[in-house]
Amino acid sequence: MLDGYKLRYYPFRLLFYILVLNVIGVLAIYSATGGDKSMVAKQIFGIVLGLVVVVLISFIHYRNITDLMWIIYGICIVLLLSVLLFGYSPEGAGAVRWIKVPVIGQSQPSEIVKIGMIVCVSAFLGKHQEDVDRISFLLIFAVIAAIPCILILKEPDLSTTVVVFIMVLSMLFISGISYKWVLGSLAFVI
């Protein structure tokens, strides 16, 4: 897990910045809710849980995480399907984007899927960097990217769908795709 990691290189400063931003967030929630202690306690619980997860994940070498690309992708799809099957709308507004998770409470899986898609797409593009300009690769890539986008759009959550779509296209562009494909796509869209 640590792969010869030296603790002196750990980004404690970044962790401190995250903590400061979260304290500001807690103070903002305290002020906005008029001192509602239950809301503040929920936020602090989320911060502590998030920091524990961040610290644990930060010690795992990124190659070990990218080796799990298809498992992460599968988890993302299962999370999005669970919204379609078990999701609810907290405000009753019609958009079903949330699921209830034991212990944690309500969760919006599309936010988790954003991070999962970054890991999956970057690992996929990294493993197939020499194939980026092939039509067969681009078709497979389009299917891999389209499935989560379609599932998020079915919630309906257009803003998150657009964010994931642009994120995936940006990663494809940065991976070194030929400008012929980029200019051809722009010409087609125009």
What is the DSSP track for 117-174? HHHHHHHHHHHTGGGTT-HHHHHHHHHHHHHHHHHHHTTT-HHHHHHHHHHHHHHHHH
The predicted structure's pLDDT at residue 1: 53
The predicted structure's pLDDT at residue 77: 94
The predicted structure's pLDDT at residue 151: 92
Q: What is the mean pLDDT of residues 83-105?
A: 76
Kindly report which listed range (15-24, 52-61, 85-94, 107-116) carries the lowest average pLDDT score: 85-94
Q: What is the mean pLDDT of residues 52-73?
A: 87
> pLDDT over 90 for what percent of the chain?
37
pLDDT confidence band for 11 (50 / 70 / 90)? confident
**How does the average pLDDT of the chain come out, rounded?**
86
Say which residues have a Cβ less than 8 Å from residue 161's Cβ, sequence separation at least 6: 149, 152, 153
| Residue 56, CB-side half-sphere exposure with 13 Å CA sphere | 6
Q: What is the mean pLDDT of residues 51-77?
A: 88
The predicted structure's pLDDT at residue 5: 64
CA angle, 150 as apex, 66 and 147 as ends, to 5°? 35
Burial environment of residue 147 by CB neighbours within 10 A (0 to 12, 13 to 18, 19 or more): middle
Highest mean pLDDT, choosing among 6-15, 23-32, 85-94: 23-32
Q: What is the mean pLDDT of residues 108-123?
A: 91
Q: What is the mean pLDDT of residues 40-65?
A: 87
Three-class secondary structure of residue 21 per DSSP: helix
Which pLDDT tens digit goes with each residue over 122-149? 999 999 888 888 889 989 999 999 999 9
**In whole angstroms, what is the distance from residue 34 CA to residue 22 CA?**
18
Confidence check: pLDDT of 94 > 80: no
Cβ neighbour number for residue 181 with a 10 Å cutoff: 15
The predicted structure's pLDDT at residue 9: 80
Q: Which of 51, 45, 49, 48 is nearest to 14 (CA)?
A: 51
CA dihedral 131, 132, 135, 139 (to 10 degrees): 110
Cβ neighbour number for residue 119 with a 10 Å cutoff: 17
Higher pLDDT, residue 3 or 181: 181
Of the chain, the end-to-end C-alpha distance in Å amounts to 48
**In whole angstroms, what is the distance from residue 4 CA to residue 87 CA?**
43
